[in-house]
Amino acid sequence: MKRWFLRILGGLVVVLALAALSVYVLSERRLARTYKVPQDEVAIPTDEEGIARGAYLATSISNCRDCHGKDLSGGIMVDDGALGRISAPNLTTGEGGIGEHLENDDLVRAIRYGVAADGTALKIMPADDFNSLSDEDLGAIIAYVRSVPPVDELQPSFVLRPLGRTLVALGQLEIFPVERIDLAAPRPKTLKPEVSKVYGKYLAQIAGCTGCHGPGLSGGQIPGAPPDFPQAANLTPSGDVGDWRFQDFLSTIRSGKNPKGHSLAEEMPWRNFAGMSDQELRAIWLFVASVPAREAGTR
């Protein structure tokens, strides 16, 4: 009797060890997968105006500083006992920063395609939003990144813990934005800022509205966001914004309070967007108000 029990126990231990090993091997293989992306020629401006445009985009539209810090010295984004830890790196040329090691081509590849210099997929970094940046705006953002003063700060390295590993091995963790990018799609060289639906859609993409609220703007669970992240609102006519006018949208973004008096969760980066001009917000509203109704959470 006792021997049988020990044999079964021994068998179980072997099965568990094999399962853990295959999870390890599969997740490592997934992390090591490399991508071939186009090599784009992007001019990097050196004048004040170009750098100022980049600072504005990074701050008020594309949210770079929410993850990489106000001085771009980086920060820990998630440190979860079961899933793992990921930080946004220090982008400056200070000690521990990656600014010294990356060429402009590396920055273009990272921001537009979410791919590191060794060809592996960057994690969480929302390149799927930045993928539609025009060459001109992308160049301006890089000029700004290059212009910030050095800060000495080394962010802790990436760690995948058992649950995170299992989910990556099973392909159930949406942390690789490159997978959501159409690598062959053409990118605009430049775009004329105007109050139009086309320009509004462009802004909504590079501001992450479509990344968080979904391409169809119906909101719900955000791919790759930590479990305690609030659901994004349904911005289609079947959601609460269905009867809004532009003024309601404008005052919600500028004040962080919607017409019902609800203060928006800080995860919705309205403080950044409050810095956009009336014209830009009007263009975004033209786009938002044009999408068809969708049930909440159907992306």
Give the binding site for ligand HEC (CB under 6 A): 58, 62-64, 66-68, 77, 86, 88-89, 91, 98, 106-107, 110-111, 116-117, 122-126, 130, 141, 145, 158, 204, 207-209, 211-213, 230, 232-233, 235, 240-241, 249, 252, 258, 262, 264-265, 267-269, 273, 284, 288
Minimum distance from CB of 144 to ligand HEC (Å)?
A: 8
Please give the single-letter amino acid code of residue 9: L
**Closer CB to ligand HEC, 22 or 263, in the complex:** 263
Exposed / middle / buried, residue 72 (Cβ in 10 Å: 0-12, 13-18, 19+): buried
Minimum distance from CB of 110 to ligand HEC (Å)?
A: 4
**Closer CB to ligand HEC, 110 or 169, in the complex:** 110
**Closer CB to ligand HEC, 167 or 204, in the complex:** 204
**Closer CB to ligand HEC, 22 or 208, in the complex:** 208
**Residue showing tokens 């962010």:** 155
Please give the single-letter amino acid code of residue 179: E
What is the phi-psi region of residue 297: left when phi exceeds 0, alpha when psi lies from -120 to 50, beta otherwise?
left
Q: Are 264 and 256 in contact (CB under 8 A)?
A: yes
Identify the CA nearest to 233 among candidates 250, 256, 254, 209.
Answer: 209
Torsion of CA 247, 251, 257, 261, to 10 degrees: -40
Minimum distance from CB of 235 to ligand HEC (Å)?
A: 6
Cα separation, 207 vs 62, in Å, equals: 5
Minimum distance from CB of 171 to ligand HEC (Å)?
A: 17
Minimum distance from CB of 2 to ligand HEC (Å)?
A: 50
**Closer CB to ligand HEC, 125 or 291, in the complex:** 125
Start-to-end C-alpha separation, the chain: 56
**Closer CB to ligand HEC, 7 or 90, in the complex:** 90
Cα separation, 297 vs 218, in Å, equals: 5
Minimum distance from CB of 239 to ligand HEC (Å)?
A: 6
